[in-house]
Amino acid sequence: MAIVDIHGHPIEQSTLREQQTSRLGQLQQEFAEHPSNGLTPPKLAGILRTAEQGDIKAQCELFQDMEEKDAHLLAEIGKRRRALTTVDWAVVPPRNPSAAEQAEADWLNEVLQDLPDFEDLLFDMLDAIGKGFAGIELEWERYGREWMPKAFNYREASWFQLDPATRSELRLRDGSAEGEPLQPFGWIMHQHKAKSGYVARGGLYRVLAWPYLFKNYAVRDLAEFLEIYGLPVRLGKYPSGATADEKATLLRAVVNIGHNAAGIIPEDMAIDFKEAAKGQHDPFDWMVQWAEKSMSKAILGGTLTSQADGKSSTNALGAVHNEVRHDLLKADAKQVATTLRQYLLYPLLVLNKGGERDPRRLPRFQFDLVEAEDLGTYAEALPKLVEAGMQIPVSWAHDKLRIPLPGKDDAVLGTGAQAEPVTAATRVAALKSKPDNDPIDDLAEQLANDWEPVVELVAPVQQLLASCKSLEEFRDRLPEVIPQLDASQFAELIAQGMFAGTLAGRTGAV
């Protein structure tokens, strides 16, 4: 049975033994024409228009020049490309996997973890953010009975062209009008949708080409301004009838005297020094800042995470801009994961595990972009919610806090609340270690409890005290309520207290 790629195209064994570009030697010998030299608005418009018609060579070379000549652009796109290379990832099986599907996902995890330059592959794939696509040629090698990628070779974007019919299929430039189709299992072709549109217009650098051009105009004008700023205007005067050689001599003297502060001229000639040139650099700075902020907004979705704005930058606004960057990171990760699933995971499975593959049941490449919730907030809120009666699954809490569930043999952290089970032996030990109670304290507690039923007997006294305005009045009227009290109960209670006190004293003395 013939081996086919994920799109149903059959592959040849020669694809695994020889790279496709090895037969196109003219591509290896090409040198960039650097279309950014002498770039003007009409020239830029022409480059972009030619790319829309299918010839993307000049546009790709221009985008390469933009990265090399603009440090701010290189720094910002580098932040976005490197952000994904620092994120943890894993190959996960499809939903409700069978044992075989789980085993294949585990095998792919081991294979990719052992690749030494996998992070470089991710970085090269994200070159497509600016240019619209990135082509990485696979170099296969057989290890025992398994086919494994030996290297991921980045190929210049200028090596490719679009098919004339649809302008949507990338092909190698082989000198023909049609181009050479890419061999299945030979490439990881990542097309990144930084913006909607077909391949030639999908790259972010098409948007950034105009700020790049205007910034270069501003920088060039600023350099000229700094060259002449503060220097006096020098005017040479020659007499009428001067020859061409005399005029040239005077011109050289005028030019040289500005740099050397010295020079000679004929006696009948003169040099006048006018007031130094005046001006401000603010307009040029404003144009440069506008261009760089436009680049930052397009690449990172904001400016506060990339450069300071002394009047408006705050921590709160910076946090909002960081959230925007996280959204871009998630979007980049999703697109890269889809490409890896089609052009790397699928070939590895077909070449080494065999059998027909349902694309819907392939393992998935997944970046871990879930951010852990604030531990302090959840540590305070969850116990209260549980006490209120909410039924919170343990797995949900672990997922929110990014804390993995322990395995069967994993040791777990514990607290004082997680003590050993209470047994009869532990109870006896606790009683032995408990200090003896003070008999006086026990007696006071007992008498207090026995006195509670007698409180009702003294209610008349309490009522009398509440109605009196002074202690003298209470003393004088107290005989009025004595007949209402039962003295025998008071006497019995006092006798019990005296007996208990005597007994407790003798027990403590022993």
Higher pLDDT: 486 or 48? It is: 48
C-alpha dihedral over 206, 207, 211, 216, to 10 degrees? -10
Cα gap 165→177, rounded to integer Å = 11
pLDDT reported for residue 75: 93
Which DSSP symbol is given to 344? I
Average pLDDT of the residues in 284-305: 85
CA distance to 62, 404, 405, 411, per residue, from 395 (Å): 52, 9, 7, 18
Q: How much of the chain, in percent, has pLDDT values that exceed 90? A: 36
Q: Are 3 and 351 in contact (CB under 8 A)?
A: yes
Closest CA relative to residue 495, chosen from 462, 450, 449, 455: 450
216 SS3 class: helix
Cα gap 201→171, rounded to integer Å = 16
User: Exposed, middle or buried by CB within 10 Å (0-12, 13-18, 19+), for 314?
Assistant: exposed
* Adjacency order of strands within the sheet including 160-162: 160-162, 170-172, 180-181
Average pLDDT of the residues in 215-244: 76
Average pLDDT of the residues in 233-246: 76
pTM of the model as a whole: 0.66
In 148-281, which residue ranges form alpha helices assigned H by DSSP?
Answer: 205-228, 244-260
Average pLDDT of the residues in 234-253: 78
Span between the terminal Cα atoms of the chain, in Å: 101
Mean pLDDT is highest, among 117-121, 391-395, 403-407, 454-458, for 117-121
pLDDT tier at 453, thresholds 50, 70, 90: low
Residue 306 predicted with pLDDT over 60: no
pLDDT tier at 320, thresholds 50, 70, 90: very low
pLDDT tens-digit profile of 244-290?
887 888 778 777 766 555 555 666 666 665 555 555 667 888 899 99
Q: How far is CA 249 from the centre of its chain?
A: 65
Higher pLDDT: 387 or 339? It is: 339
Mean pLDDT is highest, among 10-24, 216-230, 305-319, 325-339, for 325-339
CA distance to 155, 161, 203, per residue, from 52 (Å): 21, 11, 12
pLDDT reported for residue 246: 78
Average pLDDT of the residues in 116-122: 91
Question: Positive or negative CA dihedral for 245, 247, 251, 254?
Answer: positive
Average pLDDT of the residues in 464-480: 81
pLDDT reported for residue 258: 60
**Angular region, 38: left φ>0, alpha ψ -120 to 50, beta rest:** left
Q: Give phi and psi for 169, each to the nearest 5.
A: -105, 130
Which DSSP symbol is given to 343? I
Q: Are 160 and 133 in contact (CB under 8 A)?
A: yes
Q: Give phi and psi for 154, each to the nearest 5.
A: -70, 135
Higher pLDDT: 252 or 505? It is: 252
Average pLDDT of the residues in 194-220: 90
Cα gap 190→136, rounded to integer Å = 8
Residue 95 tokens, joined: 């939903």
pLDDT reported for residue 509: 44
Residue 42 predicted with pLDDT over 80: yes
Q: Are 294 and 213 in contact (CB under 8 A)?
A: no
Q: How far is CA 425 from the centre of its chain?
A: 55
127 SS3 class: coil
Residues written for the chain: 510
Residue 322 predicted with pLDDT over 50: yes
Q: Bridge partners of 276? A: 232
C-alpha dihedral over 305, 307, 313, 318, to 10 degrees? 0
